[in-house]
Structure 1
Amino acid sequence: MATPFRLEGVIMKQTLTILHTNDVHASYAQFVRQASYIKKRKQELEVAGEAYLLIDAGDHLDMSVDECLATRGSVHLEMLEELQYDAMTVGNNELIRVPPEEIRELSKSSSVAWLLANIKEADGSVIGGMKPSLLIEKAGIQIGIIGTSDQFEDLYENKYGYRNEETVSVIQQQAEQLREQGAQLILHLSHLGFEEDRRIAKELVGFVDIVVGGHSHTVVETPVMQDGVYIAQAGSLGNYVGELQVELEDGKLGLVEGYLKEIDEEVPEDPAMLAIWRNAQQETATFLGEKLTVLETALSHEEVLREMATSLQGVWSADIGLMYGGGFLGGLDAGVVTRGDIFSKCRSMHSPIVMELRGDAIISLIRDHKKPEYMAKPIYGNGFRPQGTMIGTLGFSGVTWDDMNGEISNVRIGEESLEETRIYTVGTGTPMLYEEVCGYPGVRDASLVDIKNRKMVKDVFLEYCRVKGNV
């Protein structure tokens, strides 16, 4: 039993069950089963009079999934509340893929505590309704929980103006404060990734007892002891529920055991969670059904890429536009084009950028854009959906050329001949800024001019389709 007891000369023992999930990524079909198992396990623990904690290690949302996007993440607030999670940390899919004003409101509206200690607003305050840590009591056990997330170097600072805190230091500071407030057990709810959790474990000894992690989608069958700290993680996409059995002896951590429960098709769907999902699907159908334009004839994949390049050129008033094949998977049929038609083939979540390239670099891209060694190079960057999508061929606008058996000549930018040493502006998406992402050597010396952080490439194309009307 979790209720503490003490007899003269007898060691006081307390037990706690920690149920944990991570990286659900809006996998609703699997989550309705995962939720069913969690409810069943909670009920078993309650009947047995055992104390338990339910926590999530981030990336519950994923705006690349239609229901999540259509509801702007609100479906997840309902799901988290239905399961009565005690706390969740904030993952990169919450922070990167949701505009700051929306993530602030989501975290304020949530009945579940959102924890994030190492990323703050520019003035050092917490983001929206988030908290750096939480002290919670379960059947007499005082539990401190600290949340952190991968900072992606300075991405959040550059993208949204957030401020990074030194991760290890802030965990140590929060742990000390929680101990002073009476915490007997300190959990680090981490969205840093399994290898990073292992790397920093030696610096957290004496501060943190258990790390419950996410981000790397690692299947940790039983908790790993690393430099005196236990580390657990439960895979991804709702495929597992992690369970830790924790024993405290006289208020200090004793035995820790754990395992993963695989969620397969034999686990039934939870009716209440299924109803939440069905309501979101109805809202999504309306959202995706919006009519954008009418195509008199079908557009091939290459023709769509040129249209998208034109939209990116126009949104920046750039010298040329550039779109990559992996960002839009296929062509468009003749007839009415809806938002759903665009979203079904444009899954990637890249931001539109304007960058600068020399004229000779543009010629390099023209020369290479249909070469298999670049189109099929197995390199992809953050934000490609589905994961592993190749960069593909390139579509251009605002630039023309002659091609005689692979020899490129008479390259023109608008009505003028291209100058190889001149710097030109190029409207495109984030993958084209880095050779290591897109694979094309022509972008090696590209420099970023501006980025639209609150839009995605597909948003630009959607607006372009609305304005253009019949094509």
Structure 2
Amino acid sequence: MKETLTILHTNDLHGHYDLAIRQAALIKKRKRDLLSQGEHVIVLDGGDHMDMSMNECLATSGTIHLDMLNATGYDAMSVGNNELLRLPKDNIRQLSHDSKVPWLLLNLEESDGSQIGGTKETLLLKVGDRLNVGLFGATDQFEDIYENKHGFRNRDTLNSIKQAVEKLRKDGANLIIFLSHMGYGADIELSKQLSGLVDVIVGAHSHTVISQPEVVENVIIVQAGSYGKYVGELRITVDIEEMKVVEHTGHLTEISMDDKCDTELSAVVEKGRVETEKYLSEVVYYSDRAITHEELVELMACSVKDFWKSDVGIMYGGAATNGLESGEITKASVLNTCKSMQAASLIELTGQQIAGLIHETFDKEITNRKVYGSGFRPQGIAIGKLQFSGVRWTEHEGKVSDILVNDETIDFTKKYTVATGSSLIYEEVCGYPSVKGNTLIDYSKEFMVKDVFMDYLKQQYTKMKSKIL
């Protein structure tokens, strides 16, 4: 006895709303057409639907995406790092509880071993009279980052998958689909260990465009690029009694801005944008002259120094894409230039390391290095020159001398507390050699650098207005 199922799949939208409303139109039309022909259809997403670097996502604390997922008609989604890493843990719990589309996650748990918020380890979908589809999701654990940031605990991914498959089979699943937010390379390796357990991997995270389904050890792997550019379609025939896929075909359909928009999702996005406009219009600062890019980055260095009450503040040029115009400066003004989602971090550096950074910021081979690290936005821009708060020096014809830290001659052997953004902590990310060997003291689990910067500007603006009054 055989049943046929079409899986419509997407992944890694990252808040590209204008393509999402076109992507949704295609998904809905294709689903209607298939259902009218008596076909079975499910719609799945591989995670990173959200992206807090997008103003609509930030302004609504991610809630716009819950409405989008529901309006598009998804049956389930995996949980990506942008759902997990860029939100406070209480927000993660609340959003996963509030979502009408199940969030699937089996390789992370609360510190007490319970499931995180409203996430589910597994989901069983009954499709038609005979087909029972078992689903589960897993995410890239980024080593121990979620344990350190949120206090969550990693579960062994492979063992968790095996237990999930066993449970789903006992519950009657005759088809197993893994929603993976682990990346193409990890999917390939896992497939070798999941043959006979998992039928299909709907991939994500690596933004891989898999034009035709790949098969590794009898496991079918699909992934639909990123940013709403594609909708994947996988049609499979399942032998119900043998509980295996006996036939499959698949392809990607490319989405363009010329495609038709879905009216329901357009209304959701427009509602979110109205809310976003109100959020972004808040004035946080006033300047009677334009602020240059270097001045802006230096202000950011001041803001993290003030946040951590540290000896020194250092910020890299890539933390902002340009300066700010004169006049009232709104949240929109700041967020449109400060895209990166870097955590406000506190590290310890010796005076020798700080001096090294000063010398290195004049090295164009370092400052022109393009960065693709986690949370760095826009991806692929240069790390840029460093700006310092609490540090002064004399520079003549490329030679640096007379370095002062808070008006005292620098002590090369002393350890100083340094506030910065998380990209600067890692030499392999930022490319500044002198950070090697730094000691991480703390980093904000709640606030990104741009949040700290906006709060700092508001504080300065309040002081400015009080002086006038």
Alpha-carbon shift at residue 104 of structure 1 (Å):
0.6
The answer as to 2:57 corresponding to 1:68 is yes
How do 1:68-107 residues align onto structure 2 when only pairs under 5 Å count?
68-107=57-96
Alpha-carbon shift at residue 407 of structure 1 (Å):
2.0
The aligned residue for residue 283 of structure 1 is 275
The answer as to 2:34 corresponding to 1:45 is yes
2:145 aligns with one of 123, 137, 155: 155
Does the C-alpha gap of structure 1 residues 404 and 264 become closer, same or farther in structure 2, counting only changes over 3 Å?
Answer: closer
Q: Distance in 1 between matches of 2:210 and 2:372?
A: 26
2:172 aligns with one of 168, 182, 190: 182
Question: Does structure 2 retain, via aligned residues, the 8 Å contact 1:21–1:234?
Answer: yes
Cα deviations by residue, 1:6-30 (Å, 9 ceiling, x for unpaired): xxxxxx1111111111111111100
Give the AA of the match of 1:466. K
Cα deviations by residue, 1:26-78 (Å, 9 ceiling, x for unpaired): 11100100000011011111111111111101001111111111111111111
Question: Does structure 2 retain, via aligned residues, the 8 Å contact 1:89–1:189?
Answer: yes
Question: Does structure 1 retain, via aligned residues, the 8 Å contact 2:371–2:379?
Answer: no
Give unpaired runs (5+ residues) of structure 1.
1-11
Q: Distance in 2 between matches of 1:250 and 1:410?
A: 78
Give the AA of the match of 2:313. G
The answer as to 2:449 corresponding to 1:457 is yes
Deviates more, 1:244-253 or 1:270-279: 244-253
Q: Distance in 2 between matches of 1:431 and 1:399?
A: 20
- Give the 4+ runs in structure 1 shifted more than 4 A: none
1:128 aligns with one of 111, 117, 121: 117
Alpha-carbon shift at residue 114 of structure 1 (Å):
0.5
The answer as to 2:344 corresponding to 1:352 is yes
How do 1:316-465 residues align onto structure 2 when only pairs under 5 Å count?
316-465=308-457
Q: Distance in 2 between matches of 1:468 and 1:250?
A: 67
The aligned residue for residue 101 of structure 2 is 112
Q: Distance in 2 between matches of 1:134 and 1:106?
A: 18
Cα deviations by residue, 1:94-131 (Å, 9 ceiling, x for unpaired): 00011111111111011111100001111111111000
1:263 aligns with one of 241, 255, 258: 255
Q: Distance in 1 between matches of 2:299 and 2:76?
A: 45
Deviates more, 1:249-258 or 1:133-142: 249-258
Give the AA of the match of 1:238. G
Question: Does structure 1 retain, via aligned residues, the 8 Å contact 2:316–2:384?
Answer: yes
- TM-score (structure 2 length as normaliser): 0.96
Q: Distance in 1 between matches of 2:3 and 2:304?
A: 60
1:213 aligns with one of 203, 207, 212: 203
1:242 aligns with one of 228, 232, 238: 232
Question: Does structure 1 retain, via aligned residues, the 8 Å contact 2:131–2:240?
Answer: no
How do 1:194-233 residues align onto structure 2 when only pairs under 5 Å count?
194-233=184-223
Alpha-carbon shift at residue 173 of structure 1 (Å):
0.8
Question: Does structure 1 retain, via aligned residues, the 8 Å contact 2:174–2:240?
Answer: no
Question: Does structure 2 retain, via aligned residues, the 8 Å contact 1:356–1:449?
Answer: yes
The aligned residue for residue 166 of structure 1 is 156
Question: Does structure 2 retain, via aligned residues, the 8 Å contact 1:429–1:457?
Answer: yes
Matched position secondary structure for 2:447: coil
Alpha-carbon shift at residue 415 of structure 1 (Å):
2.6
Question: Does structure 2 retain, via aligned residues, the 8 Å contact 1:380–1:391?
Answer: no
RMSD of aligned C-alpha atoms?
A: 1.1
Alpha-carbon shift at residue 250 of structure 1 (Å):
3.7
Cα deviations by residue, 1:238-283 (Å, 9 ceiling, x for unpaired): 1111111111224322112111111124420111111111111111
Q: Distance in 2 between matches of 1:75 and 1:234?
A: 22
Matched position secondary structure for 2:445: coil
Matched position secondary structure for 1:200: helix
Q: Distance in 2 between matches of 1:451 and 1:265?
A: 40
Q: Distance in 1 between matches of 2:116 and 2:266?
A: 31
Question: Does structure 2 retain, via aligned residues, the 8 Å contact 1:61–1:93?
Answer: yes
Question: Does structure 2 retain, via aligned residues, the 8 Å contact 1:15–1:51?
Answer: yes
1:466 aligns with one of 454, 458, 467: 458
Alpha-carbon shift at residue 370 of structure 1 (Å):
2.5
Alpha-carbon shift at residue 306 of structure 1 (Å):
1.5
Q: Distance in 2 between matches of 1:272 and 1:183?
A: 33
The answer as to 2:163 corresponding to 1:192 is no
Matched position secondary structure for 2:251: strand
Q: Distance in 2 between matches of 1:181 and 1:111?
A: 22
Question: Does structure 2 retain, via aligned residues, the 8 Å contact 1:379–1:436?
Answer: no
Q: Distance in 2 between matches of 1:305 and 1:147?
A: 40
Give the AA of the match of 2:138. T
Matched position secondary structure for 2:162: helix
The answer as to 2:19 corresponding to 1:30 is yes
Q: Distance in 1 between matches of 2:2 and 2:292?
A: 68
Q: Distance in 2 between matches of 1:220 and 1:232?
A: 6
Give the AA of the match of 1:291. V
